[in-house]
Chains A and B, each alone.
Chain A
């Protein structure tokens, strides 16, 4: 929730310095409150992904050219294109302004990715499932299983690469890539089949007591509502869309989906074991994210308001209590070198 707020904030600005600060805040949060858990290790990967996005965006900026006005930094010969490709320019002079712009756009995307990454490495995806409305439970479970695939993949890749060294193969060519990818894919596929079998055998997806008609109705309501929410979010984010599409559609979408949730939630056939209530600190953290997003709605540039928003966003990193984690035992007891052995 907090990260979502920050991400919204990032999408509202093109100011390089500000984006840098947003990334910094996300990184600070992760560094300060990262739990000892397997999913927490993925943040570095997200940072890399962000960097790659920036580089690619800048390269595209150079390759396809852009605004031809401004200070020329590097004069590349323009590749003549047939007339049907009018409007697209290959190479050509690279201007400082266009470089700057593509860098900013790339950085914005990167900031979004990093915010999502922060959420992914901070929050236990399974705990997220507990906060979902009951109607979304089954979809949510599928999403969570998909999310946990990522850290498992990382572990699997590490293991296979280590095994490759045993064959004396240190090559970096495509063959070596294949030698890693195929066993990893096989492993992932097998693992997900096993998980699916286990979930099926334990009653996942049992039919509730709902009648056919009411299920269709609630399903339709949910679908329409969620579509409304999507359109609304898009319209809010895209400043050129008609304003009518933004707030009203967003609100009514939420309303319709809410009714759908309530309807299907009433007939859901499963229960929750020790539901996970939000305590003060959870609300505080989420609130800080919302405040940051709100501050960025007020202004797009680096000024007192946005800075204040960022400071608020960084607050949880410093004041919230240390997370307690079931994974703390992972590092404390001697019972786990098996896991460590696989991981290393």
Chain B
């Protein structure tokens, strides 16, 4: 179905190619997962399939790409629309119309499908994706998971034999992500569609995959059966990590397989001391205490009566569905967002009544689109500006940045940094004011495993120094890695809060993979490793 032969691709002005000598063959009806570190060329590889690379992005392409018998060199992306359905990273940015039904029909209008057939296909697609009740809704009013499914539907109506998706679940909460992936698996099984998707968080997609293609930083692509590629890949889900650690053969890819393989390990762990972990201890009062916080948008109660304590020396994870009020709560706690009721105290003062400069000395917030805070041409200028804003000694921010992200060329334009480096820069800018409490909104979006581990280390460091950290995130494995405490929000209310082991392990949606395999107190491979080392 897809044949990529001897492809080397480089962007104009780039020193080295993004993809080098790529050979990849995909049979009809296969589900291919493309993975690899951030910035390694996953999106470029996907773009090759419908000609957006190089027609749209520019750059130099060698070799041939053939999809469904059509060479992309001879056909523009628009001519390939009926063969390859391409869904970009942010579904909302790619919507052309404004209601669900019209969006589904848009592609067919371009192809000149007969109106009667069009009507029928729209209905079929609505049913196939389970979004029939959303048909008249505006696209903006949908939740993230629904938007992603509409985006998939909008290309499915053209009946393409190949579907290409760029990180379809990166912005979704665990439940929506599973919905979308289940939809894709169904397309592969029921319609024989060939699906190619890029993904950072492998833990959910690997069970569905027929082929895993790993894009390395040098532009090489290794493809093969999931078990064989993951056995050597540096980027692996926790389950595979556990399998490698325990030496299971063949490598388990699903929780079910792992549970069956893990009987001996579980027996060994039952004698081991449970992971009390160095982080678990009594919390002495809150650095930040919030009581009865409420925020309304018109008739909508975004946050209702939330009580929250952030003790010194702790990392708290804030979880919950897309749109459950997490971001709104963070902004209200920082004092910049609106608050219609309740009380927030940080070291005795309410940050909303302090001047903005004083407020950020107590509570720093890294917003969801972190790049909103960056506006200068170079990292140096950005750091200097932030030192001036915080009235601190020159070089504070630059020193922080080096500590967070290692050496970064100070002349780089912040826009050219990788996602992880950008986040580190914004975090450094906010930490320059030395806040006691740090809030982060979805920091793991677009980060690979390496960058996430680095971020987890930084946040643990902040907590060790006596600060309090609150992270809103969908990434369960990241929470298991970094947090001491967890809080779950639903419809603006805090429905659970407490020790991370209790909150996570008892919930089927939020349980990390290791907990699903080994049962309650074990959240991460580190827990297991430490317990076994203690014993021996």
Residues of A bordering B, CB below 8 Å: 37-38, 124, 126, 141, 145, 159-160, 162-170, 178-180, 182-183, 186-187, 191, 194-206, 208, 269-274, 325-327, 329-331, 333-341, 343-344
Contacts and interface: CB of A to CB of B under 8 A. Distances in A.
28 contacts: A159-B372, A163-B369, A163-B372, A166-B336, A167-B373, A179-B375, A186-B415, A194-B93, A197-B52, A197-B56, A197-B88, A199-B96, A202-B86, A202-B107, A203-B111, A204-B110, A206-B78, A206-B111, A271-B109, A271-B112, A273-B101, A274-B101, A329-B137, A334-B492, A335-B323, A340-B297, A340-B302, A341-B297
Chain B, interface size category, equals 35 or more
Contacts of A145: 96
Nearest to B371: A183
B433 interface: yes
B114 interface: yes
B320 to A, nearest CB: 11
Contacts of A337: 297, 300, 302, 323-325, 328, 492
B119 A344 contact: no
Contacts of A202: 78, 81, 86, 96, 106-107, 110, 154-155, 158
B77 interface: yes
B389 A169 contact: yes
A162 B77 CA distance: 38
Which of B78, B118, B143, B371 counts the most A-chain CB atoms under 10 A from its CB?
A: B78
A134 B374 CA distance: 44
A336 B82 CA distance: 33
A163 B52 contact: no
Given A195-B93, A338-B322, 20 more contacts: A126-B98, A162-B367, A183-B372, A194-B89, A194-B93, A201-B84, A201-B86, A201-B88, A202-B96, A202-B154, A203-B79, A203-B110, A206-B79, A206-B111, A272-B115, A326-B137, A335-B141, A337-B302, A339-B141, A344-B338
Which of B119, B140, B298, B369 counts the most A-chain CB atoms under 10 A from its CB?
A: B140
A223 B386 CA distance: 54
B28 interface: no
Contact of B327 (A141, A195, A270, A341): A341
B336 A273 contact: no
Nearest to A338: B323
Which of B82, B89, B323, B365 counts the most A-chain CB atoms under 10 A from its CB?
A: B323
B140 A272 contact: no
Contacts of A178: 375
Contacts of A206: 78-79, 81, 110-111
Contact of A163 (B81, B359, B373): B373
B434 to A, nearest CB: 12
B188 interface: no
A150 to B, nearest CB: 14
Contacts of A334: 300-301, 323, 491-492
Chain B interface, DSSP helix/strand/loop, else mixed? mixed
B219 to A, nearest CB: 22
Nearest to A141: B96
A191 B371 CA distance: 14
Contacts of A197: 52, 56, 88, 94
A274 B86 CA distance: 24
6 nearest A-B residue pairs (beta carbon): A198-B94, A203-B81, A273-B105, A203-B110, A163-B372, A338-B323
B337 interface: yes
Given A191-B93, A339-B141, A271 B367 contact: no
A3 to B, nearest CB: 20
A124 B155 CA distance: 24
B50 interface: yes
A270 B109 contact: yes
Given A326-B99, A337-B323, A200 B52 contact: yes
A306 to B, nearest CB: 37
Contacts of B50: 201
A286 B491 CA distance: 43
Contacts of B52: 197, 200-201
Contacts of B371: 183, 186
A327 B108 contact: no
A274 B336 contact: no
A277 to B, nearest CB: 13
B365 to A, nearest CB: 5
A325 B371 CA distance: 34
A166 B364 contact: yes
B56 A270 contact: no
B430 interface: yes
B203 interface: no
Contacts of B112: 208, 269-271
A282 to B, nearest CB: 18
A133 to B, nearest CB: 15
B299 interface: yes
B78 A336 contact: no
B390 A168 contact: yes
B56 A274 contact: no
B197 to A, nearest CB: 15
Contact of B94 (A163, A168, A195): A195
A70 B79 CA distance: 69
A138 to B, nearest CB: 10
A257 B302 CA distance: 52
Which of A124, A198, A205, A334 counts the most B-chain CB atoms under 10 A from its CB?
A: A198
B158 A327 contact: no
Contacts of A325: 138
